[in-house]
Chain A
Amino acid sequence: MSRMARRDGGLGVRGQKDGSLTLTGSLPPAHGLWRLAWRRLLRNRLAVTGLGVIAVFGLVALLAPLIAPHDPSAQNLRETFEPLSLNHLAGTDNLGRDWFSRLLYGARLSIAVGLFAQLIVLGIGVPVGLAAGHFGKGIDTFLMRTTDLVYAFPDLLLIILLRSVLGGSIFTLFLIIGIVSWVDIARLVRGQVLGLKGQEFIEAARSLGASDRDIMARHLFPNLLGPLIVVVAFGVPRAIFIEASLSFIGVGANPGVPSWGSMVQEAYAAIFSSPHLVIFPSAAIALLMLAFTFAGDGLRDALDPRTEVTARPRRDIEEPTSPALPVPHETDTELPRAA
């Protein structure tokens, strides 16, 4: 998905190619560190604003039935394409439905697409990356070759074909976005694990007789949480964006349940006579994208151990800093694609 997403959709996970996701120092799990990260995050005004917007949108999604002034699917064919009014805050659409209420409900599917697609992405990507990085050798080669295969598949084609084979339910949509996006996570996780493997605390755990499962679950995984949170923060808006683009191509979610993406697409035909119908859902998508981007940036900075707790963002140049740009972890035959 990422290739298409870079053109038509949101930010790529491979966006973290500047390497800032790749932790270089050792990072033993410690509660204090999370607290520090949280404090750093709260100091970042943009990030806090982003988190605030996400929270508000989340609330809107949850409370849509309570705050929506109209039934979002109630049609009134005598009031189609109405302009803005007190009764219809965002006008009405081609079936005379209240666009504002649809916007409120649209938050549900849009956010759901973002979150569930990420769950699927993580559900496939993390185990594959963990296993590849931890076991190495044959398993690594096999899993990485598999990701190569998936990666070489033109995303758009895979999406359209899968959509045609699997049908058009919303779940299918989550699944498809997930299927084409997991490769990046798998590579990222593998790179992280390779970096962590040599660290002393893993060696220590192993010498104490910890099983592979223990090491992966109790030692490796917690250390991956930071980067994964960041990746999810960027992945959610990307999935929302992909959904919007798929709607345009005609393979998006089916109508009935509005999503912002499908609302933009539905209204697109009327863009010359009723531009507000396009502007509102586009603005909602843009706002949510911005919120996730700022929150994601903030999280990345906060979780990056190189960022000093005492650092004052306003005076970068005087700040004491940590070592240079991260080095890719393995240079053997292949770079992590996201390197």
Chain B
Amino acid sequence: MAIYALKRLLWLIPVLLFISIVTFGLMHAVEGGPWDEDRSVPAAVTENLNRKYGLDKPVWRQYINFVTNAVQGDLGVSYQRQDKPVTDIILSGFRVTAVLGLMALLLATAAGVSLGVMSALNRNRLPDYAGVLFASLGSALPAFVLGIFLIYLFGVKLQLLPTFGWDVRRGLIPGWLPPIEQMVLPVITLAALPAAYLARVTRASLLDVLRQDYIRTAHAKGLSRTAVLTRHSLRNAAIPVLTVIGPITAGLVTGSFIIEQLFSVPGTGRLFVQSVTARDYGLIMGTTLFYATVIVVANLAVDLAYAFIDPRIRYR
């Protein structure tokens, strides 16, 4: 297993190399450079800027410089953020994004699983329909519509919650968690979709288990309904649910442009869009490679976790 994990991690190297080449090529293929604006600056000023950031060299040379620096842990600076090191920007943003993502994951799991169980146990009765409807709506409303609706309802109309912000300095856990009232809306908006999805998976999985022979046997043995449910059904139904939680986690911690944009959360989700539109080359490369790493590692973790959950799987 350890060797398998190591092999997968080594695989990361060609993956990152490939992705860096493609991204580097694409971003330089996009029309317009970082200094192109409606208002012209003299050619000499553009040259000053290019020199400052090493953009006066041929693209292949820039790529080699990038890789050389990157392997030493230097991803360059962001032109759009006070020349700050890209790594600093990503790491500080990732802390926010990851915390927000994990909070949403907790909520989504709790809400989704209980809804799914409720639906399955009351199949084709009112609670089931209600659950299915809720789950469907949660997945059918675009996040920005749901988000602005929540802001309007809880922020403007009811005046219960703040309309923006994610201030970790005066939060529950300083440096990590913002005040609870700032968390409510973004976490709910972010959790809506995975919650709906988990509810559907849980329901399907539990229904499937409930059809199995051993459950009928358990019933036949005279075990109580509760005992059958807790000891046999839920445990078995959990396997597929756990396997989808993995990718959901990976998705949540990579951040959401929409949620961060809407609730002014200082995470990494917005960096992609911002960096590409600004041709902030360093930040584009940095975020891409960082997330590629996160995705590969997260998938490895999912696969390993899957082997723990399901003993029928072995890796070589």
Residues of chain A within 8 A of B250, CB atoms compared: 3
- A residues contacting B by CB (< 8 A) are 2-4, 6-12, 14-15, 17-20, 46, 148-149, 151-154, 156-157, 160-162, 164-165, 237, 241, 244-245, 248-250, 261, 264, 268, 271-272, 278, 282, 285-287, 289-290, 293-294, 313-314, 316-319, 321, 324-325, 327-328, 331-335, 337, 339
Q: Is B91 an interface residue (CB 8 A)?
A: no
Residues of chain A within 8 A of B123, CB atoms compared: 313-314, 316
The contact size tier of chain B is: 35 or more
Q: Is B172 an interface residue (CB 8 A)?
A: no
**Is A286's CB under 8 angstroms from B141's CB?**
yes
A264, chain B: closest CB distance, angstroms:
6
B250, chain A: closest CB distance, angstroms:
7
**Is B142's CB under 8 angstroms from A8's CB?**
yes
**Is B215's CB under 8 angstroms from A20's CB?**
no
Residues of chain A within 8 A of B22, CB atoms compared: 153
**Is B295's CB under 8 angstroms from A152's CB?**
yes
Q: Is B43 an interface residue (CB 8 A)?
A: no
Residues of chain B within 8 A of A11, CB atoms compared: 139, 197, 200
Contact A157 B145, CB 8 Å, known A3-B247, A331-B315: no
**Is A149's CB under 8 angstroms from B212's CB?**
no
Q: Is B109 an interface residue (CB 8 A)?
A: no
Residues of chain B within 8 A of A339, CB atoms compared: 243, 306
Pick the contact of A286: B137, B210, B291, B315 (CB < 8 A). B137
Most buried by A among B4, B140, B259: B140
**Is B142's CB under 8 angstroms from A157's CB?**
no
**Is A152's CB under 8 angstroms from B296's CB?**
yes
Residues of chain B within 8 A of A241, CB atoms compared: 142
The number of inter-chain residue pairs (CB within 8 angstroms) is 195
- A339 vs B313: C-alpha distance when bound (angstroms): 11
A172, chain B: closest CB distance, angstroms:
14
Pick the contact of A331: B143, B148, B314 (CB < 8 A). B314
A204, chain B: closest CB distance, angstroms:
28
The 9 closest A-B pairs by CB, nearest first: A18-B240, A286-B140, A289-B140, A321-B211, A154-B291, A164-B30, A6-B251, A161-B26, A3-B251
Smallest CB gap from B246: residue in A: A17
Residues of chain A within 8 A of B139, CB atoms compared: 10-11, 289, 293
**Is B288's CB under 8 angstroms from A157's CB?**
yes
**Is A335's CB under 8 angstroms from B303's CB?**
yes
Residues of chain A within 8 A of B284, CB atoms compared: 157
List 14 additional contacts besides A20-B204, A316-B207; criterion CB under 8 Å. A7-B143, A12-B197, A18-B241, A46-B132, A153-B292, A154-B288, A157-B23, A157-B272, A282-B142, A285-B142, A325-B239, A332-B316, A333-B315, A335-B313
- A271 vs B148: C-alpha distance when bound (angstroms): 8
Cross-chain pairs A/B with CB under 8 angstroms, 30 sampled: A3-B295, A4-B251, A7-B252, A10-B139, A12-B197, A19-B240, A20-B204, A20-B208, A148-B11, A149-B15, A149-B18, A152-B15, A154-B295, A160-B273, A264-B145, A268-B144, A271-B148, A282-B145, A286-B137, A286-B141, A293-B136, A313-B123, A316-B210, A317-B210, A321-B213, A325-B240, A333-B4, A335-B306, A335-B313, A339-B306
